[in-house]
């Protein structure tokens, strides 16, 4: 492939998800030697204020920290930015306005790849409450199915457990039960709309698993190899 853009990653939300994004990016890049891989600049900043707390509970806004991170990456030479955190996309507009390089939209990219008309959503309470996925679903004529209040608590606990590096097997079993509930309520597929949830084995789920992290990896590679004149 030809010349590629430098990729900047707004990371640390959480650190394990950032590592997984980079691992998948390396695995998916069409390269056979070191020199053919993408140049990637990662700013993994776990001090970014909690996104769900900001969206639902009046906590400190993460916007200043996210803007600083995006600008640092741009100053470091990044030509396209990716942010492997679904909930942080509720603040995508101010990030985009703060830099002169493209910032990928993981939510839009993911919903663009859905073929089903009824889709379940596994995400943080903040992502669900902000409506970022619901608006994208509506634009595509997709009916969202979200977990019940009790099942959303299971999802929230699962995300916390993954951030705390607990057993993915146990967490996966809990999430599979939520997916079965969504399927029983009509969901034909489910979106893993939290990058911690992306760390689970989607092949073990009872319906099609659409992983937003995988989608972001693909979009990053596509954008990184676009000719400058096509950007």
DSSP state of 103: B
For residues 221 and 25, is the Cβ–Cβ distance under 8 A?
yes
Annotated catalytic residue: which of 55, 85, 179, 205?
85
The values of phi and psi at residue 208, to 5°, are -60, 130
Closest alpha carbon to 195 in 109, 130, 106, 129: 106
The single residue of 40, 55, 194, 212 carrying the catalytic annotation is 194
Assess whether 194 carries a catalytic annotation.
yes
Give the separation between CA 184 and CA 108, rounded to whole angstroms: 26
Phi, psi of 210 (to 5 degrees): -105, 110
CA distance 198 to 166: 15
Q: Measured between alpha carbons, how far apart are the two ends of the chain, in Å?
A: 16
- Token reading at 110: 């993911």
d(CA 27, CA 173): 27
- Beta carbons of 195 and 21 less than 8 angstroms apart: yes
Which pair of tokens denotes residue 107?
């939510």
100 assigned to active site: no
How many Cβ atoms are within 10 Å of 41's Cβ, its own excluded? 17
- The set of catalytic residues is 85, 194
């Amino acid at each position: 492939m030809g010349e590629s853009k430098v990729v900047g990653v707004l990371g640390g939300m959480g650190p394990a998800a950032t590592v997984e994004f980079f691992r998948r990016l390396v695995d998916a890049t069409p390269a056979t030697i070191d020199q053919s891989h993408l140049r990637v600049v990662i700013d993994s900043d776990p001090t970014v204020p909690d996104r769900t707390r900001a969206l639902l509970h009046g906590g400190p806004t993460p916007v200043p920290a996210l803007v600083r991170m995006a600008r640092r990456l741009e100053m470091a030479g990044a030509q396209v930015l990716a942010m492997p955190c679904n909930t942080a996309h509720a603040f995508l507009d101010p990030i985009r306005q703060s830099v002169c390089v493209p910032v990928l939209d993981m939510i839009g990219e993911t919903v663009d790849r859905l073929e089903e008309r009824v889709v379940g959503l596994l995400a943080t309470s903040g992502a669900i409450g902000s409506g970022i996925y619901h608006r994208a679903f509506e634009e595509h004529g997709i009916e969202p199915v979200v977990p019940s209040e009790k099942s959303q608590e299971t999802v929230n606990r699962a995300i916390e457990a993954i951030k705390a590096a607990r057993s993915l097997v146990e967490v996966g079993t809990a999430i599979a039960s939520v997916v079965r509930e969504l399927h029983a309520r009509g969901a034909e597929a489910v979106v893993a709309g939290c990058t911690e949830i992306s760390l689970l084995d989607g092949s073990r789920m009872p319906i099609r698993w659409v992983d937003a992290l995988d989608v972001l990896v693909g979009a990053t590679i596509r954008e990184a190899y676009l000719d400058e004149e096509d950007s």
